[in-house]
Amino acid sequence: MSAILQFPKCETCFDDDEAAKIGLAFDRVCRELHDKGQLGMREIVARRLIAIASSGERDPNKLCELAMISVGLRKGLTASGENRNVIDWNWNAA
């Protein structure tokens, strides 16, 4: 039997082009995860991508990179240039 995914309510609406860019970024991140089928991680990535896109980012490469930073697959830089695993973001909203 298939699982039914519930999608979070989002205050921001995305047009078809924006949704396609978010989907492209999601697919790229899943490839980085080596598509291990970890539903929980994929849901987190989806929520993070929606949060990042809701803040105005639309470049699929940047969406992908920021999502990977947010889940610890990449290191981000602070304003002072320090490496860190997670960028400052209000992930509670995601």
pLDDT attached to residue 6: 66
Q: Is the pTM of this model over 0.75?
A: no
Q: Which of 39-43, 50-54, 71-75 has the highest mean pLDDT?
A: 50-54
pLDDT attached to residue 35: 56
> What is the DSSP code string of 10-73?
-SS---HHHHHHHHHHHHHHHHHTTT---HHHHHHHHHHHHHHHHTT---HHHHHHHHHHHTTS
39 — pLDDT class (breaks 50, 70, 90): confident
pLDDT attached to residue 42: 87
Q: Which of 8-12, 16-20, 33-37 has the highest mean pLDDT?
A: 16-20
